Amino acid sequence: MTAASRLARYLPILEWGRTYNRSALGNDMLAAVIVTIMLIPQSLAYALLAGLPPVIGLYASILPLVAYAVFGTSRTLAVGPVAVISLMTASAAGSVAAPGTSEYLEAAIALAFLSGIMLAILGFIRAGFLANLLSHPVISGFITASGILIATSQLRHILGIAGGGDTLPEQIEGLWSNIGASNAPTICLGVASLAFLYWVRKGAKPFLVRLGLRSGVAEVVAKAGPILAVAAAILAVSVGGLEQRGVAVVGAIPRGLPPFGVPQVDLDLWSKLWLPALLISIIGFVESVSVAQTLAAKRRQRISPDQELVALGASNLSAAFSGGYPITGGFARSVVNFDAGARTPAAGAYTAAGIGLASLFLTPLLFSLPVATLAAMIIVAVLSLIDSKTPLRLWMYSKSDFAAHLATIGMTLAMGVEIGVIVGVATGLVLYLWKASRPHAAIVGRVPGSEHYRNIDRHEVITWPHILSIRIDESLTFLNARWLEDYVQDRMAEQPELRHVVLLCSAVNSIDASGLESLEAINHKLADAGVSLHLSEVKGPVMDRLGRAKILEDLHGKVFLTHERAIAHLIQLTNETPAGDDRWHARGLI
């Protein structure tokens, strides 16, 4: 690999930048305009969800987008603040400081810095596989529970009351104890915003198409719906004097570009935040890479998960150095970016420029933006995160995955996002280890008129009282080695005429030292009982490792290339023919 290709691996911009042309520029610029319109109100809303000043959402949507354009491998992924990561940020920062304080903002910036470092390191050591610790049921359960927590946490803004909490019981208690202080104008604004934004999400495009607009134009106009909601809400507050009637507004938003600077080094703070930062990193990476892979597949492109770690690390470090908080790839805006025709990551850089212009010139116009409207935007956005179909599908397909899914949802709602993720991962690993320690094995017999061997409990097959054929459907490891010994011993006790045991190893991909010791123990126990142990269909790599041990020399039986040969040979040894089937004699197999 040349130096240029090695550099291009870590700087994908050098690859797609060589072929960048006017056509790609036009597509990227159009996509950037649409995503910018969508991202401005989203950034403000998600910063509110994270417990931060709204302007922090804008800061987190400028430099990180440029960093991803340089280091990212997805042509259409749009990074920035997202709901789940904002919730996790609020939970982690709230554990060390009170919202609204400088210490809280410092904690949020520290989370971005730590996440950036962790993601970058994982990328450089090519540890993208670590994301596999989070199974789909765990991720689905966590996102569903997070969506419920997010939506519930925003109800207080819709009602115009105090409240809060990191868990569902705390949030419900806060709402119930303050419900009497609800503000009528705030409720009107919030409910109206909810209804309009929900309609925009579901019905605006079809309505505009019926009015005669082309599908593409209707799509663009529909995506601008949140901007219309913001403008209408600001107008209502200003004209109706609703701020004086108790409607909370975002207030003054600092005008200008992000304040660039080195995050404060506070080892004591970092020691409290490293675990939440790690969880934010893993959740953010899984969410981002799944979106990126889905969109890349539609255009027959590919992404590099390890380089995506580097890109997200650079983006989060950029957020930390520009006063932002943790970010990742967002599903909704990435789909919008894709549908709008973005061709390269440059679309993200153009979006960053649009957000920068908004920070310079539009923030004074947002003074009277009601918090209830931002809360409505968050609620509508997270409704798509709540998956009501997956639990039933998992229950029907896999009870263990259902248990992991349900445990993640329950613990996230009851104990908070960090505990929920940890419990979900732990539950998934425990269930996996439990299943691996009790692998599937089956006694098999020959299907009449064929050379195939199938489970005796599922098929009408031929068996022989002197021969026991056991198919092992798992690698032999320290987790299940003792189980196999007990299984063979129990099956042998059920056949007093037994003289041969054949382990069908076609599904055994590896045998570790503990598995080898168990095979040796089985061999000796069977020999003491006058029974021979045989192996069939052992894979080449497994056979190579067994060849380096003494078991092949000590084996009281043989190793057969196919199970058919094993049975034919043992039938000949025992001079036994299965009733009603003389095919063995006719073919003279040995």
- Supply the pLDDT for residue 289: 85
Backbone angles phi, psi at 193, to 5 degrees: -65, -40
Chain centroid to Cα 421, Å, comes to 11
35 domain residue, yes or no: yes
410 domain residue, yes or no: no
- Supply the pLDDT for residue 537: 94
Residues 28 and 117 in one domain: yes
Strand partners, 532: 500
CA distance 107 to 217: 42
Domain boundary (350, 381, 404) is at 404
Domain boundary (356, 377, 404) is at 404
Share of the chain above pLDDT 70, in %: 95
413 domain residue, yes or no: no
- Tokens 């009277």 — which residue? 368
Q: pLDDT digits over 462-502, tens only? A: 999 999 999 999 899 998 888 999 999 998 888 888 999 99
CA distance 566 to 504: 10
424 domain residue, yes or no: no
Is-contact 79 327, C-beta < 8 A? Answer: yes
180 domain residue, yes or no: yes
Is-contact 44 61, C-beta < 8 A? Answer: no
- Supply the pLDDT for residue 579: 41
Give SS3 for 276: helix
Residues 499 and 450 in one domain: yes
Q: How large is the greatest C-alpha to C-alpha distance in the chain, in angstroms? A: 101
Residues 216 and 365 in one domain: yes
Residues 456 and 340 in one domain: no
Residues 331 and 464 in one domain: no
Domain boundary (351, 384, 404) is at 404
Please list the ranges in the chain whose pLDDT falls under 50: 577-590
Residues 473 and 341 in one domain: no
435 domain residue, yes or no: no
Residues 457 and 340 in one domain: no
The three state secondary structure string of 183-201 is CHHHHHHHHHHHHHHHHHH
Share of the chain above pLDDT 90, in %: 44
CATH code for the domain of 559: 3.30.750.24
415 domain residue, yes or no: no
- Residues contacting 238, CB < 8 A, separation 6+: 368
Strand partners, 511: 476
CA distance 230 to 587: 83
DSSP assignment of 527-551 equals HHTT-EEEEES--HHHHHHHHTSSH
- Supply the pLDDT for residue 590: 28
- Residues contacting 300, CB < 8 A, separation 6+: none
Total Cβ atoms within 10 A of residue 90: 25
- Give me the domain span that covers residue 462: 441-587
Residues 384 and 450 in one domain: no
Residues 347 and 447 in one domain: no
Residues 372 and 465 in one domain: no
Total Cβ atoms within 10 A of residue 259: 10
DSSP count for the chain of H helices, then E strands: 27, 8
Pairing of strands 532-536, 559-560: parallel
Is-contact 583 526, C-beta < 8 A? Answer: no
Residues 29 and 131 in one domain: yes
Residues 484 and 571 in one domain: yes
Total Cβ atoms within 10 A of residue 234: 19
Give SS3 for 68: helix
- Tokens 């419990």 — which residue? 423
Backbone angles phi, psi at 107, to 5 degrees: -65, -40
pTM: 0.79
70 domain residue, yes or no: yes
CA distance 467 to 567: 8
- Supply the pLDDT for residue 583: 33
Q: pLDDT digits over 273-328, tens only? A: 999 999 999 888 988 888 888 888 888 888 888 899 999 999 999 999 999 999 99
Q: Count how many domains the chain has.
A: 2
- Supply the pLDDT for residue 47: 93
